[in-house]
Amino acid sequence: MMSLPVIRRALVLFDIDGTLVRRAGPHHRQALVHAVRRVAGLDATTDGIPVQGMLDPDIVAVMMRNAGAAQGAIRESMPAIVRAAERYYLRVCPPLAGKLCPGVAPVLDRLTRRGHLLGLVTGNLTRIGWRKLGRAGLREYFQLGAFGEMAGTRAALAGIAIREARGRGWIARGAPISLIGDAPADIGAARRNRIRAIAVQTGVTPAEELAAQRPDFLLRDLRDLRLRMVE
């Protein structure tokens, strides 16, 4: 007899960079640069691109446009670039256990013990995002994720994660859902999905810029998160 899924109290979605992990080194950017060079033969760079809150495929597209590539060539080469970037990052990703944002491990422990389902909404490519979490010692906390190549916007990624959690029977239709991130794009994604927006000041966005987006909660870091905010 098949066992029924355990229904969790709430779904809490997290961004990765600047929210769970920060100062993770240049390896992610290097993976994108390497992949564009290997697949498209272009010497492209992320310099001058405001990458915070962007999806990896969008970063790659801007890199290639800046290097003179046509839109058709960008679109045609993107799947191969995604695969090449992931392969490269899997080889070079360093240990990240010392790169956690303040309060991350205690918060994930507390949410898990409370019976919440944890997921990811990130611009990272799938294998890059999971590898970061693995090298940071956080992989075991997360049951699902929506990643940069899965949709064209962060809001659409959040929708994917929500639909998966509901479709698998992991949360009830009316269960509280929150998205925690460090960028205005995270707040916007939460708003467009009509879920709670929780902003943390552990990324590069100034606090006043986050406050201007009117998140439901604006936290110094995850040490300030309270269970009532996600339940």
In three-state form (DSSP H/G/I as H, E/B as E, the rest C), the secondary structure along the chain is CCCCCCCECCEEEECCECCCECCCCCHHHHHHHHHHHHHHCCCCCCCCCCCCCCCHHHHHHHHHHHCCCCHHHHHHHHHHHHHHHHHHHHHHCCCCHHHECCCHHHHHHHHHHCCCEEEEECCCCHHHHHHHHHHHCCHHHCCEEECHHHCCCHHHHHHHHHHHHHHCCCECCCCCEEEEECCHHHHHHHHHCCCEEEEECCCCCCHHHHHHCCCCEEECCHHHCCHHHCC
Asked if residue 6 has pLDDT above 80, the reply is no
Query: CATH number of the domain at 27-92, please?
Result: 1.10.150
Name the pairing type of β-strands 117-121 and 177-181: unpaired
Asked if residue 1 has pLDDT above 50, the reply is no
Average pLDDT for the chain: 95
Q: Where are the domains of the chain?
A: 11-24+96-229, 27-92
Give the pLDDT of residue 3. 53
Which tokens in the block code for residue 158?
A: 């959040």
User: What mean pLDDT comes out for the span 175-200?
Assistant: 97
Contacts of 113 (CB under 8 A, 6+ apart): none
The whole-angstrom separation of Cα 221 and Cα 218 is 9
Structural contact between residues 178 and 217, judged by C-beta atoms closer than 8 angstroms: no
The whole-angstrom separation of Cα 96 and Cα 149 is 23
Asked if residue 67 has pLDDT above 60, the reply is yes
Convert the pLDDT of each residue in 12-60 to its tens digit: 999 999 999 998 889 999 999 999 999 999 999 999 998 888 999 999 9
The fraction of the chain above a pLDDT of 90, given in percent, is 91
Convert the pLDDT of each residue in 202-227 to its tens digit: 999 999 999 999 999 999 999 999 99
pTM for the whole structure: 0.94
Convert the pLDDT of each residue in 108-131 to its tens digit: 999 999 999 999 999 999 999 999
| CATH tag for 11-24+96-229 (out of 3.40.50.1000, 3.30.43.10, 3.30.70.20, 3.40.640.10) | 3.40.50.1000
Check if 11-24+96-229 and 27-92 are the same fold.
Answer: no
